Amino acid sequence: MTGEDAVRLRPPRNAVDERAVAWWRSRLLAATAVPVVVLAVLGAFLGPARTWLLLAAGAVAALGLVCTAFLPAWWFRVHRWEVTDEAVYTRTGALRQEWRIAPMSRIQTVDTVRGPLEQAFGLATVTVTTASSKGAIRIGGLDHEHAAELAERLTALTRATPGDAT
Amino acid sequence: MSEEWRRLDPRTLLADAVVLCGVAGGAALPAVAGLSGGGSLGRAFAWVLSGVVLLVLLGTVGDWVRLRRTRYRVGPERVDLHTGLLLLKRRSLARERVRSVDLTANPLQRVLGVVKVRIGTGENTPGGESTLEFDLVARAEGERLRRELLGRAAVAGEPDRDGVLASLDPHWIRYAPVSFLAPALGAAAAGAVLQVSDWFGAQAEVVDWVGDRFRDTSLTWTVVDLVLLATVAGAVGALGLWVEMWWNYRLEREPGGTLRVRRGLFTARSVTLEERRLRGIELVEPLGVRLFGAARVDAVATGLAEHDEDKHGDLKNLLPAAPRERAEEVVALVLREPEPPTAAPLAAHPRAARVRRLRWAAWGVLVPVAVLAVLGPLLTPVLLYVAAGCALVLGPVAVLLALDAYRALGHGVSGGFLVARSGTVRRTTVALQRSGVIGWTVRQSYFQRRAGLLTLTATTAAGAGAYAVRDAGEGQGLVFAAEAVPGLLAPFLETPEARPTEG
């Protein structure tokens, strides 16, 4: 291996909040429960197709439960974020991982969003958008007070950094 | 500076009324046919005629009200447009945010000497709220608006290479039939024949008639003939469309740093683009066109909204398919570079990228063949022959495409531009201003991780919003990204020396 080949992206410094694992778990459970319930109810009423519908429901439930058991822990290991004076840097994904970098001078908006599930776990998502239609960065699963602080800090930093954002 | 309120051109009424007459007349013909079935032709005709007259009158009155209620003003700082009868709409744009002024005129409007003016701000807000549309004004007034809104003082000290950058070479028409448009038009023509005959309840007769023509030929030859016929129709259609779209084409640079594309035989259109908005250029080579050594040039600019309702809507197109050397000349001229960045030598990607493409090709052929082979014994042995045919024909094609796709891969830095190329069916070479890159996205799937590859995406405010360098080597890609846009990626890279495990 040459020196150039060994260069790699270092992981961002901060992990997301530990409660994020539970949040992801409940989200996956909810996403599994909806189709399973629909299939099961249909199976209960439609006599002729009962076996197949219940089989499908079972398969979906098994897949969902496996995902619920393993994915959130994996996500927690991968999902990391970092904000420096120059840029926002995140890593997400599991099988397919993604690193995103946006410089402070190009940031246009900083939003904090809290869905109902996130509120239940005391979490929030910070979304940072740039002028690119494909350049938005989301940092999910942050403690909501921490997220508000972060959003404030980002706004202050963006204001202090000159740039026309395009 | 004109500050008084102005109105739209009264000839708008005439233009719209003629269109309305055409539409009403078109609808009237079947109506007459339908009504006369029961009673006399004369009475049906009278009914429909009065209906048409009423419709046109009402439409024209409505149009007149719209005309009376619409006014606009170009002030020193803002452009205002007031419109609407019940729902008053007052829209105002800051003049400094105006980024494009497009003039369009269909044949009728050209005869009447009026144009439609569209003023854009360069923001892609959904719902098109960022554009003002003046429907219709006199041609001279349109030109005046365009000049006044975009004719900012030329930046002093900047060498302005004004004038014509490219104009139409009629020989370029030879690339029209090999574009992907031709087969699409052929299929559309066949579909249209069937659809229209269906409206008149004559679809079965048409099919029978075609069957009669081919009574003496075998099924295979019938199919071959029909496909040939559709192809020829498609090629003719593509030629016609090319003439309509590109007649009188000129690409010019105007004082004050704007690029202007003018083209169109029947519908004349003029697209003006501020050079300040240009973030780069894309050299596009669709497979058919590439086989003949040609390429077309698209602009990568901020705020070039895609006008979906407009069939001639490829606003970003700066040059139609033209010989590659000519296309690259135009790239260099547009970007004001001595050498076209798109012709710069590019770094090849690792062999693992080729293995990946060959693997995709193999899967793409094997899966349908396997499905056919499994179903064959269960349903009908014909499927087995189809499977064998697929494997023999598609296999080599897929492998060739995979190898070609690998050859296309490349990236590099040329002067102030970042260059990336990929694709086989539609090969694109994008040259993006390095200062126009506003972020990086690095993606790595499980398979890419195993092969030591990654896909690097530069996000930008312009064009598609993101341009990718696919399947670059891990270190190669990251070093390239760090060099292309200094300071952005470098703080997040770690080299072996810094890594404690490899001390």
Taking the C-alpha atoms of B335, B426, B472 and B398 in order, what is their torsion angle to the nearest 10 degrees?
-160
What's the complex ipTM? 0.88
Backbone angles phi, psi at B286, to 5 degrees: -65, 150
Question: What is the CATH topology of the domain spanning A79-160?
Answer: PH-domain like (2.30.29)
- Beta A97-103 vs A107-113: how paired, if at all? unpaired
> Per the domain annotation, does B317 fall within a domain?
no
Could you tell me which residues of chain A have a Cβ less than 8 Å from any Cβ in chain B? 2-10, 12, 82, 84, 86-87, 89, 95-103, 106, 130-135, 137, 165-166
Contacts with B422 (C-beta within 8 Å, 6 or more apart), sequence order: B405, B408, B409, B410, B428, B468, B469, B470
Residues B19 and B132 both lie in one domain: yes
Q: Which of B122, B471, B239 is nearest to A131 (CA)?
A: B122
B459 vs A contacts (CB less than 8 Å): 102, 130, 132, 134-135
CA B187 – CA B383 distance, rounded (Å) = 26
Q: How far apart are CA B270 and CA B104, in angstroms?
A: 6
Identify whether the C-beta of residue A127 lies closer than 8 Å to the C-beta of residue A136. yes
- Listed in sequence order, the residues at least 6 apart from B66 whose beta carbon sits closer than 8 Å to its beta carbon are B83, B85
Residues in Cβ contact with B60 at an 8 Å cutoff, skipping those fewer than 6 apart: B13, B16, B17, B20
Is B438 within 8 Å of A89 when comparing Cβ atoms?
A: no
Rounded to the nearest 10 degrees, how much is the dihedral formed by the CA atoms of B174, B180, B185, B191? 150
The enclosing domain of B102 has a CATH number of 2.30.29
Report whether pLDDT(A45) > 60. yes
Residue B160 pLDDT? 47
Task: State the sign of the Cα–Cα–Cα–Cα dihedral B364, B370, B371, B373.
Answer: positive
Q: CA A63, CA A80: separation in Å to the nearest integer? A: 26
Q: Are residues B13 and B76 located together in one domain of the fold?
A: yes
Question: Domain of B137?
Answer: 6-150
Does residue B64 lie within any of the structural domains?
Answer: yes
In chain B, how many domains are there? Answer: 3
Q: How far does the CA of residue A161 sit from the closest CA of chain B (Å)?
A: 14
For residue A99, count other CB atoms closer than 10 A to its CB.
24
* Residue B28 burial (CB count, 10 A): 18
Q: How far is A87 from chain B, CA to nearest CA, in Å?
A: 7
Pairing of the two strands B71-74 and B78-83 = antiparallel
Interface contact B443-A97, CB threshold 8 A: yes
Cα–Cα separations (whole angstroms), residue A19 to A16, A26, A66, A76, B261: 8, 11, 20, 10, 56
Q: Using an 8 Å Cβ cutoff, are B15 and B136 in contact?
A: yes
pLDDT of amino acid B419: 94
Let me know: does B316 contact B141? Beta carbons within 8 Å: no
Task: Identify all chain A residues contacting B464, using CB atoms and an 8 Å cutoff.
Answer: 133-134
Residue in A85, A31, A78, A39 with CA at minimum distance from that of residue A58: A39
Q: Chain A residues with CB inside 8 Å of B350's CB?
A: none
Domain membership of residue B314 (yes or no) is no
Contacts of A98 in chain B (CB under 8 A): 441-444
DSSP class of residue A85 equals S
Token pair recorded at residue B44: 């049906």
Q: Which residues pair with A111 in a beta bridge?
A: A127
- pLDDT confidence bin for A104, thresholds 50/70/90: confident
> What are the pLDDT tens digits along chain B (503 aa)?
456 888 888 888 888 888 888 888 887 777 777 776 666 777 778 888 888 889 889 999 988 888 888 888 888 888 888 887 777 778 887 787 777 788 888 888 888 888 888 887 765 554 445 678 888 888 888 888 888 887 654 444 444 456 888 888 888 998 888 888 888 888 888 888 877 777 777 777 777 887 777 777 777 788 888 888 888 888 888 899 899 888 889 998 887 788 888 888 888 888 888 888 888 999 999 998 999 999 999 988 876 655 444 444 477 888 999 999 999 999 999 998 888 998 889 999 999 999 999 999 999 999 988 988 888 888 878 888 888 888 898 899 999 999 999 999 999 998 889 999 999 989 999 999 998 898 999 999 999 999 999 999 999 888 788 899 999 998 899 999 998 888 888 888 887 655 454 33
- Cβ(A91)–Cβ(A14) below 8 Å: no
Q: Are B66 and B9 in contact (CB under 8 A)?
A: no
Separation CA B302–CA B281 (nearest Å): 12
Tokens of A38: 């629909």
Residue B346: inside a domain, yes or no?
Answer: no
CA angle B485, B489, B492 (to 5 degrees): 165
Q: Are residues B49 and B116 in the same domain?
A: yes
Residues B23 and B99 in one domain: yes
Tell me which of B440, B449, B471, B494 to substitute to probe the interface with A (most A C-beta atoms closer than 10 Å): B440
In a domain, B417, yes or no: no
Any idea of the CA torsion for B6, B8, B9, B13, to the nearest 10 degrees? Answer: -150
Kindly tell me if the per-residue pLDDT of A140 is higher than 50.
yes
Q: Which helix (H) or strand (E) holds B74?
A: strand B71-74
With respect to residue B378, please indicate whether it lies within any of the assigned structural domains: yes
- Asked if residues B417 and B433 have their Cβ atoms less than 8 Å apart, the reply is yes
Cα-based distances in Å from A161 to A103, A106, B155, B311: 10, 9, 26, 42
Spatial distance between the Cα atoms of B481 and B472, rounded to a whole number of angstroms: 11
Amino acid sitting at position B110: R
At residue B400, the pLDDT reads: 94
d(CA B173, CA B243): 8
pTM of the model: 0.76
B286: which 2 tokens? 């669709």
Which residues from A are below 8 Å from B479, CB to CB?
A: 4, 7
- Give residues with Cβ within 8 angstroms of B497, minimum separation 6: none
Q: Pick the residue of A2, A101, A108, A109 with the most B CBs within 10 A to test the interface with B by mutation.
A: A101
pLDDT, residue A36, reads: 92
Element at B493 (helix H, strand E): strand B493-494
The residue among B496, B488, B493 whose CA lies nearest residue B440 is B488
The answer to which of A88-97, A115-124, A140-149, B183-192 has the lowest mean pLDDT is B183-192
Q: Which residues of A touch B466 (CB under 8 A)?
A: 132-135
Taking residue B79's Cβ as centre, other Cβ atoms within 10 Å add up to: 22
DSSP line for B221-269: HHHHHHHHHHHHHHHHHHHHHHHHHHTT-EEEEETTTEEEEEE-SSSEE
- Give Dmax over CA atoms of chain A in angstroms: 68
- CB spacing of A5 vs B475 below 8 angstroms: yes
B414 located within any domain: no
Cβ-proximal residues to B305 (8 Å cutoff; 6+ apart), any chain:
B120, B124, B128, B130, B131, B315
B373, B391, B407: which is the final residue of a domain?
B407
Instruction: Tell me which residue has tokens 């003719």.
Output: B236
Cβ contact (<8 Å) for B479 and A100? no
